[in-house]
Structure 1
Amino acid sequence: MPFVGRKRELHQLAEVLSRPPVVVLLEGEAGVGKTRLLHELHWPPLTIGRCHPMRFPYGPVVEALRDASPPRDLNPITGALRPLLPEVAHLLPPAPPPLADRQVERHRLFRAVLSLLGSLRPITLVVEDVHWVDPDTRELLAFLARCLPAAVNLVLTYRAEDLSHPVAEMLAHLPPHIDHAEIALAPLDPGETAELAEQLLPHPGDLWPLSRGVPSAIEQLARMLAEGRPPGTPPALRDAVLLRLASVPLAARMLVQAAAVLGEPATARTLAALAGVPPERSERALAEAVRRGLLVESAPGRYDLRQPLARQAVRDSITPAARRRLHRHLDAPAPPQGTLSPREEQVVRLAAGGLTNREIAESLVLSPRTVEVHVANALRKLGLTSRRQLRTT
């Protein structure tokens, strides 16, 4: 895939890594291009391992070092890595005898990794997808970060919305001689999205509204168009969204589903009413949905899914029974306190934007007469006498 719109971040990363030892945290949502950015580096050499959702002990470090070409005359302690690295065991010293104390043996293993990295310098150890890090690797990385040899860097990539613990905590314990940097990789802007799309496909149209600038989504949308298929939710994006949705508490999941059905930014109160989540649970549920990147505050006090493709993925996953329940709540009358129902609030927002009843009806798949009733009820509840006054509410 063409490399577009990352010159500033690439320069920043290369500049930081040119002054080892340094620890770099590279953050960005799924598909935003963290791995691609790393592969654009020409120096220093990288050795890369990836964390896995199944969280294998020391898995990413084993992956990174199993193809190493260490020099001769290694520190004897590196022999402790023979069981973990059978691919290069013949290049390592003999394995030391086992120790009775598990913690002491673990410390010896950590020192062995540190010594092997030192023998490979200059080198940058990259551990990707740290949001899936296993407990053993997490402790090893914390150890390495505090003890990096000269000419050795450590880069950790992660998705903040899927992180169960703050990786930044290790930065607080770094010794003075080890520098650090945090780089956040944002989606492409509309111009960069157009540039990438045009390099992938002649006359692709505007893919930014659907992709919101995520390069992997742009690539998959372009592939769909090239194959003559209508652009839809790419399977990788759909699966990532649904896996994240399945991992949050039920109340948060219900708010996300309500936002998907509503199809436009809504207040926390509207989402909670539509989802049927009690007020005492909705605040925490909303915070969790936002923390996990399922909902974003697209306008002050209003929440929506991050992109239309994610909204469609969630909407398609809702069971028929749940969809009927949501639509019943959407069309239910407001409580007697005079507040607007979710549907009335939705109609008011469109009317305030200047749409006619017929245009609102087409947008919400309602009859113009139903829209007329909703507008009249909303004006009465808001104490207004003119539709024009909605634009100032």
Structure 2
Amino acid sequence: MATEAGGADGAPARRAPAFVGRARERAALLGAARTRPSVVLIEGEAGIGKSRLVSEAVAELRRDGVCVLTGNCHPLREPLAFGPVVDALRGAGRRLPHDAELGLSPEVLGVLLPEPGRPSSGLTSAPGHGASRHLVAQGVRRILEAIGPAVMVVEDAHWADEATQELLLVLGRDLPADTALVVTYRSETASRSGTLFGAAFRRPPGTTGAEIALGRLAATDLREMARSVLGEEAPPELLRTLVQRSEGLPLVMEEDLITLGWQLSDTGLGVPRSLREVFAERLDRLPPDAVALVNAAAVLAVPAGRDVLSACAELAPEAAGNALLAALAASVLREYGPDSYGFAHVLGRQAQYETLPPPVRHQLHGRVLSVLRSRPEPPLVQIAHHARALGDSDAWLRDAMAAADQAVVVGDQGTAATLLHDVLEEPALPAALHARAALALARIAWDSIEYSRTISTLRRIVADPGLPTAARGEIRLDLGLVLLNQAADPSGEAEIERAVEELEGRRPAQAARAMSLLAVMETSRFSAAEQRAWLDRAQETLAGSPDRAAHASVAANRLTVLAAQGRPEAAGLLAGLPRSDDDLAVVRHTARALANAAEIGICLGQDGRAAEQTEEAIALARRHHAPALVVHCRSYQLLLSWFAGQWEGWDGRYAAFRAEFVDEPLAVDDLLATVEGTTAVARGLLGRAVERFGRVLARDSARMNINAMGAAAGLARIQSARGDTEAAWSTVSDYLPLLPRKEEWVYAWDLVPAAVAIALERGDRDTATVLTENHEAGIAGRDAPGAVAEQHLCRGLLAREEHAESAAREFDRAGLQWSGIGRPYHAALAAEQAARVMIETKPAEAVRLLTELAAVHDRLGATSDAARCRHLLRGLGRDRRVSPGRAGYGSQLSPREHEVAQLLADGATNKDIAAALFLSPRTVEQHVAKVLRKLGTNREGMRGGMP
């Protein structure tokens, strides 16, 4: 609070309360803000001193020459996507370079730096939609880079609109190098999801920061605060009363000290018992016009200009000016920005509002409503709020819908969703308005962070028998998409199927969209023939439609189905899709088709082509503003790097990916988790592998998803290795029916080879033979290099017992096929099968091959696989691992001890290590003891990494 020379009513001068009890928090904030890039989160209840802490740090940062930008969130902010951030950027002033130097489009500049003559709208899609939010996030980042060093402060983020929440989340994950982001909020009124930004936030590598939780001040700090204003001679009884009344909240202490500042000579004042009384005392000292202005501000609830305040208080301009000066001098109101004034503290506004008698409050709401309606650009959210406060349901519904429409136009989906939820919860809502509000909510549901409330509302709406059928179908379609994409709820498929019935014949484009969506579902709900039928129906439904985006959507989905079945014509169709078009939605569907083809290509072993498709999809997605596709493609790049043998650091890259997109479905993607489990098997961490595979299968409890096949195969192989052949067979047989039903024998995730091997272990050669033959027929004429390698593996397994040379040739062909694809680990596993069958017929060749394979596994980091090869070599008397000689390794770890150390760091038990490295328990005990002694630690100290 600034030092003041005296109030407008002649009050004596008083000092600002000292900043007390926050030295550690201030140091943490300054340290983080100076170690950029950084994100600082400051949490605390109302009145705890968040803003004061920030202001103290900001003053010092500005002395350092740092540009500090501040934006405030308000509970009744008008629809303005990214409003608090836009407010903050206005403070950049002369640090901002010319528009051209920023390299931003006029549309993005119009959103972030609105000025007369500069377009404030006109983005390709509403700013609240994902594509344009991505553009805006890039724009904010570029501005911050240009003015750095910079600190952006966003106050009261618990009131942030959803677009701002997402912008802060994206910005926090990718801050410019010389920028700090400081966010204050109240946890008790944060988003319903329980997270500040509507989604979990994790700092990316290289970004520092702090999380500061402010608690209530101690009595000693509060007494020091009081003495800083009242002087050292303040009566102990008064200090005790002030401390007790504050209950640790510095805001209450400040308010009391301001009140006492008017009559410090009267120590018998009697301290008020509530903040309401504090404000009543303060207002008693103000002239009537100032009280009228304060009352108007309390009812307005958000900062307003002098003209609005004076009109609401019915004051002449000169009287309003004097009243405003008095309210500011008394620290009842404060300046928020140029010609923007509101209560100094939210608790003060609430206290003053609640002291107004109901008739006065009602009269003021009516006056405020009249003033706001007369504005050149009426603030619709505020108008709706005051209409509701007056009990005018019809006006409130009309105004709330208008405000929601405006919010959608400017991209403020959070405000729109809040208003629409409120409208839909209104009793006796007219049917036409119910349908309109429901449709509006459904159309923005896909872009909502807090989807649980939306799902509940949409479910209730579609159950209403009075809703028009076509409207119900469109709402149900969006409900299905939210269930599938955001809640990972498979019941979304059934909702989309029902939506087709309700839309067909009424809204063709929407019906076709729903049909083509059902065609690309990865579950077993529809067979391949049914998928083709859905696509044909979609095409027929769209016949003659001018909706080019709908045609592009259906074409992309048709191509996806063909690619998933390994149809050779898919590549030509993909090449023919448009890479440029006046309608950006058309090109986005091409980008989606490329991304889908890349994921499928990885599953089919088309790794080189998939890498090219991924790069092209990323380029198109970035050029045409489809950031979600970029996330998908980044997951494909992770998969491809693993298959290519780039295992070093892969676990860290995957962990960083999951942390960055913790609430995205891809963060726990089945294919990535399967690869993680396979890596664990290669390293002998079977417990971890079972957990990873189990995680995938648990999400697919109905055994319907084609992308869970690899996890089923991995778990079954572990069960088989442990001697539980029946459990292994049960695991793979759950997924085998998917292959003929979806005509996706081409998927090369080890399911068929694993099933053939397990069937042979069970003594069921007939089943193994039939599986191999069906697989061969299923991949005939298909573009599926990985499936060809797996067919050779199956043939080798069948021939292994009776025709060793034939089996060796098949395994060798499988290895060569995998090598040609570019998968060294798969090639090594196939070559090991060949070496095993050559042990009896060509032992020298087997020794050479096993020696090479052990080295390959060493390079990859496949510890257990390398140990298995050396175990076979020891059985042949030919383990050629280099010995250091008689001197040994001294204090250094031997190669074997290094392997043991790595397993210990991964949490392996002695039993796990023995199984992974093919050693006896006694030998493992000796190795573990030596490792711990040499490293000077214990088992607990090894967890999480080698010291």
TM-score range, shorter chain: 0.5 to 0.7
Matched AA of 2:20:
V
SS state of the match for residue 157, structure 1? strand
Deviations 1:43-96 (A, max 9, x none): 243200011102443111111012323023523226334333556578x9x999
Q: How does 1:302-321 map to 2 (within 5 A)?
A: none
C-alpha distance in structure 1 between counterparts of 2:349 and 2:121, whole Å: 45
Contact 1:58 1:134 in 2 (8 A): yes
Determine if the alignment matches structure 1 residue 205 to structure 2 residue 239: yes
Contact 2:41 2:212 in 1 (8 A): yes
Q: How does 1:353-364 map to 2 (within 5 A)?
A: none
- Structure 1, 121-130 or 234-243: larger mean CA deviation: 234-243
Deviation at 1:143, TM superposition (A): 1.1
Contact 1:27 1:157 in 2 (8 A): yes
Deviation at 1:201, TM superposition (A): 1.8
C-alpha distance in structure 1 between counterparts of 2:201 and 2:174, whole Å: 14
The equivalent of 1:225 in structure 2 is 260
TM-score by length of 1: 0.55
Determine if the alignment matches structure 1 residue 176 to structure 2 residue 205: yes
Matched AA of 2:56:
E
Deviations 1:229-266 (A, max 9, x none): 5322224647558999xxxxxxxxxxxxxxxxxxxxxx
Contact 2:275 2:351 in 1 (8 A): no
Aligned pair in 2 of structure 1 residues 172, 106: CA closer, same or farther (>3 Å)? closer
Deviations 1:138-177 (A, max 9, x none): 1111111111010011111001112123127766443212
Q: How does 1:33-44 map to 2 (within 5 A)?
A: 33-41=49-57, 42-43=60-61, 44=66
Deviation at 1:225, TM superposition (A): 3.0
C-alpha distance in structure 1 between counterparts of 2:154 and 2:202, whole Å: 19
Contact 1:21 1:152 in 2 (8 A): yes
If asked which structure has higher relative contact order (CA below 8 Å, sep 6+), I would say: 1
Deviations 1:313-372 (A, max 9, x none): xxxxxxxxxxxxxxxxxxxxxxxxxxxxxxxxxxxxxxxxxxxxxxxxxxxxxxxxxxxx
Cα RMSD after superposing both structures: 3.0
Deviations 1:282-330 (A, max 9, x none): xxxxxxxxxxxxxxxxxxxxxxxxxxxxxxxxxxxxxxxxxxxxxxxxx
Determine if the alignment matches structure 1 residue 28 to structure 2 residue 44: yes
Aligned pair partner of 1:68 in 67, 92, 100: 92
Aligned pair partner of 1:116 in 143, 151, 161: 143
Contact 1:29 1:160 in 2 (8 A): yes
SS state of the match for residue 40, structure 1? helix
- 5+ residue gaps, structure 2: 1-15, 264-268, 277-345, 355-947
- 5+ residue gaps, structure 1: 245-393
Deviation at 1:126, TM superposition (A): 0.8
Determine if the alignment matches structure 1 residue 54 to structure 2 residue 98: no
Determine if the alignment matches structure 1 residue 10 to structure 2 residue 26: yes
Contact 2:165 2:197 in 1 (8 A): no
Aligned pair in 2 of structure 1 residues 12, 173: CA closer, same or farther (>3 Å)? closer
C-alpha distance in structure 2 between counterparts of 1:189 and 1:174, whole Å: 32
Deviation at 1:10, TM superposition (A): 0.8
C-alpha distance in structure 1 between counterparts of 2:189 and 2:181, whole Å: 21
C-alpha distance in structure 1 between counterparts of 2:177 and 2:34, whole Å: 12
Deviation at 1:6, TM superposition (A): 1.6
Contact 2:187 2:196 in 1 (8 A): no
- Structure 1, 167-176 or 182-191: larger mean CA deviation: 167-176
Contact 1:187 1:213 in 2 (8 A): yes
Deviations 1:31-51 (A, max 9, x none): 221111112121243200011
Aligned pair partner of 1:131 in 155, 158, 161: 158
C-alpha distance in structure 2 between counterparts of 1:26 and 1:243, whole Å: 28
Contact 2:43 2:50 in 1 (8 A): yes
The equivalent of 1:157 in structure 2 is 184
C-alpha distance in structure 2 between counterparts of 1:4 and 1:200, whole Å: 12
Higher strand share: 1
Select the structure of larger CA radius of gyration. Answer: 2
Deviation at 1:191, TM superposition (A): 0.5
C-alpha distance in structure 1 between counterparts of 2:170 and 2:219, whole Å: 41
Aligned pair in 2 of structure 1 residues 172, 219: CA closer, same or farther (>3 Å)? closer
Higher helix share: 2
Determine if the alignment matches structure 1 residue 82 to structure 2 residue 109: yes
Aligned pair in 2 of structure 1 residues 116, 96: CA closer, same or farther (>3 Å)? farther
